Copies of this chain bind each other. A is one copy, B any other.
């Protein structure tokens, strides 16, 4: 039983392994562009940089490999995968396939708990759009909505796949966020999905999510193309 202590007011201390922390740090460095795409990431350099041994770095790299952020070549090490226009396209195709299936299941096992969670998350999306300016918080909130949908689908495998592409997804949402002048626009795009789910209308929900993802796809690709053109011309 995972009963929490009666309001001891203590926060859970750093109960995640070194491997996870290294992986998080690495992925942040990659999506933020600190590590150039295609660059070899040397185990010893990373290990020295973070002040740990090479073993946890290797395991973290293998973790990131399965989420597609780095690729490994035997006896040659790990390399940073580059996000290409095609890769982003492929990512959204995958998300379309997964999340379509997710909303279909969500309509089936819709209940108050899920409704509560998703509604609250849309509210949160509006809140962070108005109160806070931090783009990263907004991206996190957007991700969380989709994560909640996957969780609610009651199929852990959907969530698992989502988490695997989560980092790239996060990266792409960041691109979207930079495009919209009005941050509340992000929040609004999620409402039709929630509405269709509330009505338990499978057809409507599917087309809502398809529209949502396709629009995001279009925006991300456009934005990314601009970003690349700017890079090559400078």
Contacts and interface: CB of A to CB of B under 8 A. Distances in A.
Interface of A: 15-17, 55, 58-59, 62-63, 66, 68, 74-75, 90-91, 93-94, 96-98, 100-101, 105, 155-158, 160-161, 164-165
Q: How many copies does the complex hold?
A: 2
6 contacts: A16-B74, A93-B101, A94-B101, A94-B158, A97-B98, A97-B158
Given A93-B105, A100-B97, A105-B93, A66 B68 contact: no
Given A16-B74, A62-B63, A101 B90 contact: no
A94 B155 contact: yes
Nearest to A165: B157
A155 B75 CA distance: 27
Contacts of A156: 90
Given A59-B58, A74-B15, A157 B66 contact: no
Given A63-B62, A66-B63, A68-B160, A97 B101 contact: yes
Contacts of A91: 157
A231 B74 CA distance: 42
A54 to B, nearest CB: 10
* Most B-side CB within 10 Å, residue of A94, A98, A156: A94
Contact of A59 (B62, B96, B97, B160): B62
A96, A97, A158, A164: residue with the most chain B Cβ atoms closer than 10 Å = A97
Nearest to A160: B68
Contact of A161 (B16, B59, B62, B94): B94
A179 to B, nearest CB: 23
A161 B90 CA distance: 12
